[in-house]
């Protein structure tokens, strides 16, 4: 028996813990804690279950070609060569007939980390701007919107901070474990923690202050904090005077939000709002870590900008214990360069879906920030978390379904369950049914894969070499080593894009034969190869430098922190942040529904087929407050339909005293792998939050076109248990 132990970056979820992976006789056997004591606690039970996932009997191991009707789930096995030849031929046909913009890609770098921006490179050479990702509802869009204000997406200095503000964000032992550990360590040092959450979340339970705001009112809350900070002169006057533009204009806007108004909007007592604002502003080093809550609401752009503005005016930018603007790691060629964004013509960039109406994270803004980005960060298309020049997903699905404003006819999905990962699931289905070519690169037969023409088997993190750089969010490089070969014909997304590129004659731009060649290339400026890197250690990070802006200015058009956004102004949007109310509850739909509260055993739409994990959470639940349940006459554990004016889902009811009255929680990502062959698309429409949430023009954030997942009107109605979900009977 030969036993191997290697360093890995776990990609079961997207925080990328550093762990170790063991294999015996060519099979992954265990994922264990890191041998560095600083990293040893960063592992959760999903990571421990990785061998169960990587060795699972249902993993796709051979390229599959559709033989039945689309979505019928009937396949024949073909060779990788044949699959790539046919895919290339069909994509060429779509491009000839409809133009390169008729080709769209949806992906999620966390799962297909071996892409190295070769998808963008291929698309840019071909002429298509229509790349999007699940990160458009997560840290990707936050990164792009942060750039509007100070040209970079910072990372909180958890190690030295004295105050942590969590807007909904709820890291815990089995959810974003490293951040949970860092918050705990800070708390033990005496740092204060402020939580803003309608529920009593895990973090709220142990917070110094808990503000139970109404869902979807984060922007108003931040405006209230600014009101206190300005009125009580708690801001960093010197920094504001020297480094910020538009202070007077912002102050006038903030004056429109006296605490009485903020109390009315958020439902939080004005004294508590003031206390929290003071605690944050007067801490010596305070952070507002990234949160997905403000990535998914009708005032998303304003709310994210308000976090940026709070960081800036309180003097927390690029200081010890505040928010660090790290910049690119000089030893690793960033995806921003590999993507070849300068190859795409301005005319094609302007066709990017979202460019006209909801441009905040599209090429339109990237072009406006090009010069300052190059000056400050060394790259014109400085991208972080892959989010800085994306197409708008809603617009892509509309173009796929309706040909509006032009047809999209070929759709590639890599490491993303696109059908269920954006709002308005019916439109996504309509769009997919209307394609000439769909290709999915996956580990498992997801509902999205079932709708494809070709399904290619992907590799998993134990089967590939990688150096993770958090998609340029931090400047840390972490080693992930291959410990076993991918099963049968499974292969990396690197291989997919290079093989496709060769079939399009882009060989010159895709000179790499192997993934290791690619890693050698990315390390080339440091004069090392991947083999040398892995022999030298498992992690590298440049020594942080602070207040770098004193040398370079900020990467914005004015070189300052733009409290008044010149970019938004130039595009005809409100240059100052505001609160916009989500759709109102009514007699018919009296509750505010929010999506989220991730379940511990699963990452997003994944792992429902992994027994060890599924047993921990067999079925999806709607959370409701006890008094609301009593009012509705509903019992704990009973079956309900959660209905909105957009759709309905079926789940169990979970009565929880921690819920805020008037609110309902719907989980994300439920489908039923065990119902394959029984229910259409394995029950993808039975319990998915994406069915409930609309993406109508009037209901999305103006600047980015982001849906309002945090507080849309709904109701619950008791129903019989759906037969197909009777787990006892099955």
Ligand X SMILES: Nc1nc2c(c(=O)[nH]1)N[C@H]1C(S)=C(S)[C@@H](COP(=O)(O)OP(=O)(O)OC[C@H]3O[C@@H](n4cnc5c(=O)[nH]c(N)nc54)[C@H](O)[C@@H]3O)O[C@H]1N2
Catalytic residue positions?
14
What span, in angstroms and rounded, lies between the C-alpha atoms of 407 and 405?
7
Contacts (CB under 6 A) with ligand SF4, residues 161-180:
177
CB of 477: closest distance to ligand SF4 in angstroms? 17
Residue 561 — φ and ψ, nearest 5°? -75, 120
What span, in angstroms and rounded, lies between the C-alpha atoms of 32 and 37?
13
What span, in angstroms and rounded, lies between the C-alpha atoms of 23 and 718?
49
Among 6, 7, 8, 10, binds ligand SF4 (CB under 6 A): 10
Residue 43, contacted partner among Mo ion, ligand SF4, ligand X, none, CB below 5-8 A by kind: ligand SF4
Between 395 and 668, CB nearer to ligand X? 668
Q: What tokens does 29 get? A: 């056997």
Helices (H) and strands (E) in the chain, counts: 26, 27
What span, in angstroms and rounded, lies between the C-alpha atoms of 602 and 420?
15
Between 47 and 487, CB nearer to ligand SF4? 47
Residue 21 found at the interface with ligand X (CB under 6 A): no
Which residue from 101, 111, 692, 195 is spatially nearest to 409, judged by alpha carbons? 101
CB of 255: closest distance to Mo ion in angstroms? 35
C-beta separation of 352 from 129 below 8 A: yes
Between 379 and 603, CB nearer to ligand X? 603
Between 32 and 272, CB nearer to ligand SF4? 32
Contacts (CB under 6 A) with ligand X, residues 647-706:
668-669, 689-690
Distance between start and end Cα atoms, the chain: 39
Residue 598 found at the interface with ligand X (CB under 6 A): yes
Strands 163-167, 286-287: parallel, antiparallel or unpaired by DSSP?
A: parallel
C-beta separation of 323 from 156 below 8 A: yes
C-beta separation of 591 from 642 below 8 A: no
Residue 651: beta bridge partners?
Answer: 640
Between 16 and 487, CB nearer to ligand SF4? 16
Between 442 and 540, CB nearer to ligand X? 442
What span, in angstroms and rounded, lies between the C-alpha atoms of 528 and 524?
6
Q: What tokens does 473 get? A: 């969010």
Residue 12 found at the interface with ligand SF4 (CB under 6 A): yes
Tell me the window of 198-206, 225-233, 319-327, 373-381 that interacts with ligand X (CB under 6 A): 198-206
Query: Within 13 Å of residue 96, how many CA atoms lie on the same side as its CB?
Result: 7
Q: What tokens does 198 get? A: 């309608």
Between 13 and 681, CB nearer to ligand SF4? 13
Residue 44 found at the interface with ligand SF4 (CB under 6 A): yes
Tell me the window of 62-70, 119-127, 481-489, 600-608 that interacts with ligand X (CB under 6 A): 600-608
Residue 315, contacted partner among ligand SF4, Mo ion, ligand X, none, CB below 5-8 A by kind: none
Residue 598, contacted partner among ligand SF4, ligand X, Mo ion, none, CB below 5-8 A by kind: ligand X
Residue 138 found at the interface with Mo ion (CB under 5 A): yes
C-beta separation of 499 from 84 below 8 A: yes
Residue 610 found at the interface with ligand SF4 (CB under 6 A): no
Between 337 and 442, CB nearer to ligand X? 442
Site string for ligand X, 156-175 (x = CB under 6 A): -----------xxxx---xx
Q: What tokens does 265 get? A: 């909007």
Measure CA 39 to chain center: 23
Q: CB-based burial of residue 600 (10 Å sphere; 0-12 exposed, 13-18 middle, 19+ buried)?
A: middle
Tell me which residue has its CB nearest to Mo ion. Answer: 138
Residue 413 found at the interface with ligand SF4 (CB under 6 A): no
Tell me the window of 68-76, 332-340, 443-451, 695-703 that interacts with ligand X (CB under 6 A): 443-451
Residue 180 found at the interface with ligand X (CB under 6 A): no
Which residue from 290, 45, 342, 301 is spatially nearest to 173, judged by alpha carbons? 45
The SS3 assignment for 52 reads: helix
What span, in angstroms and rounded, lies between the C-alpha atoms of 213 and 197?
6
C-beta separation of 58 from 40 below 8 A: no
The SS3 assignment for 597 reads: coil
Residue 702, contacted partner among ligand X, ligand SF4, Mo ion, none, CB below 5-8 A by kind: none
Between 455 and 567, CB nearer to ligand X? 455
Residue 177, contacted partner among Mo ion, ligand SF4, ligand X, none, CB below 5-8 A by kind: ligand SF4
Residue 16 found at the interface with ligand SF4 (CB under 6 A): yes
C-beta separation of 456 from 80 below 8 A: yes
Residue 39 found at the interface with ligand SF4 (CB under 6 A): no
Tell me the window of 292-300, 520-528, 658-666, 701-709 that interacts with Mo ion (CB under 5 A): 292-300
Cis ω for the linkage preceding 405 (within 30 of 0) = yes
Residue 224 found at the interface with ligand X (CB under 6 A): no
What span, in angstroms and rounded, lies between the C-alpha atoms of 502 and 517?
16
Among 46, 120, 311, 464, binds ligand SF4 (CB under 6 A): 46
Residues found near Mo ion in the complex (CB under 5 A): 138, 292
Residues found near ligand SF4 in the complex (CB under 6 A): 10, 12-13, 15-17, 43-44, 46-47, 177
Residues found near ligand X in the complex (CB under 6 A): 11, 13-14, 108, 110-112, 134, 137-138, 167-170, 174-176, 196-199, 201, 213, 215-216, 218, 291-293, 414-417, 421-422, 441-444, 446, 458, 460, 594-598, 600, 602-606, 668-669, 689-690, 709-711
């Amino acid at each position: 028996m030969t036993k191997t132990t290697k360093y890995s970056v776990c990609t079961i979820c997207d925080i990328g813990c550093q762990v170790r992976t063991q294999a015996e006789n060519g099979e992954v056997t265990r994922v264990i804690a890191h041998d560095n004591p600083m990293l040893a606690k960063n592992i959760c039970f999903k990571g421990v279950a990785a061998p169960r996932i990587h060795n699972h009997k249902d993993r796709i191991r051979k390229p599959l070609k559709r033989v039945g009707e689309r979505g019928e789930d009937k396949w024949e096995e073909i060779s990788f060569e044949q699959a790539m030849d046919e895919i290339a031929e069909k994509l060429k046909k779509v491009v000839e007939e409809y133009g390169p913009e008729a080709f769209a890609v949806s992906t999620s770098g966390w799962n297909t980390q071996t892409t190295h921006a070769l998808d963008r490179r291929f698309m840019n050479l071909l002429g298509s701007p229509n790349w999007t990702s699940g990160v458009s509802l997560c840290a990707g869009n936050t990164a792009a919107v942060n750039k509007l204000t100070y040209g970079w997406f910072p990372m909180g200095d958890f190690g030295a901070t004295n105050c942590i503000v969590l807007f909904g964000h709820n890291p815990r032992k089995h959810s974003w474990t490293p951040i949970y550990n860092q918050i705990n360590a800070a708390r033990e040092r005496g740092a204060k923690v402020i939580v803003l959450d309608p529920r009593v979340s895990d973090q709220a339970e142990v917070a110094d202050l808990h503000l139970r705001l109404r869902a979807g009112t984060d922007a108003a809350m931040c405006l209230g904090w600014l009101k206190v900070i300005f009125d009580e002169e708690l801001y960093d006057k010197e920094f504001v005077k020297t480094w910020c533009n538009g202070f007077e204009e912002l102050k006038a806007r903030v004056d429109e939000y006296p605490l009485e108004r903020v109390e009315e909007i958020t439902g939080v007592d004005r004294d508590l709002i003031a206390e929290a604002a003071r605690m944050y502003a007067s801490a010596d080093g305070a952070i507002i870590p990234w949160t997905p809550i403000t990535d998914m609401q009708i005032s998303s752009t304003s709310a994210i900008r308000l976090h940026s503005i709070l960081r800036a005016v309180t003097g927390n930018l690029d200081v010890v214990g505040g928010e660090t603007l790290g910049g690119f790691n000089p030893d690793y060629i960033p995806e921003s360069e590999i993507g070849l964004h300068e190859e795409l013509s301005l005319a094609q960039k302007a066709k990017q879906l979202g460019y006209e109406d909801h441009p905040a994270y599209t090429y339109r803004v990237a072009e406006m920030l090009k010069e300052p980005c190059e000056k400050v960060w060394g790259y014109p298309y400085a991208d972080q978390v892959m989010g800085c020049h994306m197409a708008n997903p809603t617009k892509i699905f509309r173009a796929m379904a309706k040909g509006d404003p032009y047809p999209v006819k070929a759709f590639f999905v890599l490491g993303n369950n696109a059908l269920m990962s954006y709002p308005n699931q019916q439109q996504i289905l309509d769009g997919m049914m209307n394609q000439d070519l769909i290709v999915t690169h996956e580990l498992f037969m997801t509902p999205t894969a079932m709708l494809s023409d070709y399904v290619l088997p992907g590799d998993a993190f134990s089967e590939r070499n990688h150096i993770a750089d958090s998609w340029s969010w931090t400047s840390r490089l972490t080693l992930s080593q291959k410990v076993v070969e991918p099963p049968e014909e499974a292969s990396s997304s690197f291989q997919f894009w290079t093989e496709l590129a060769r079939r399009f004659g882009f060989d010159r731009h895709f000179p790499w034969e192997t993934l290791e060649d690619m890693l050698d290339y990315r390390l080339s400026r440091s004069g090392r190869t991947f083999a040398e890197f892995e022999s030298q250690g498992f992690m590298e990070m440049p020594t942080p430098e602070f207040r770098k802006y004193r040398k370079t200015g900020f990467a914005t058009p004015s070189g300052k922190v733009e409290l008044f956004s010149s970019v938004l102004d130039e595009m005809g949007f409100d240059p100052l942040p505001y609160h916009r109310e989500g759709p109102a509850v009514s007699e018919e739909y009296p509750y505010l529904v929010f999506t989220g509260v991730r379940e511990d055993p699963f990452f997003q739409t994944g792992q429902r087929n992994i027994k060890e994990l599924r047993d921990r959470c067999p079925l999806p639940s709607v959370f409701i407050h006890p008094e609301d349940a009593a009012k509705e006459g509903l019992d704990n554990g009973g079956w309900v339909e959660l209905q909105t004016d957009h759709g309905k889902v079926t789940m169990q009811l979970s009565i929880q005293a921690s819920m805020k009255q008037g609110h309902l929680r719907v989980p994300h990502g439920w489908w039923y792998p065990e119902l394959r062959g029984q229910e259409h698309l394995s029950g993808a429409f039975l319990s998915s939050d994406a069915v409930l949430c609309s993406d109508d023009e009037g209901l999305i954030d103006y600047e980015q076109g982001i849906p309002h997942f945090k507080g849309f009107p709904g109701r619950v109605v008791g129903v019989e248990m759906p037969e197909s979900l009777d787990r006892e009977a099955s």
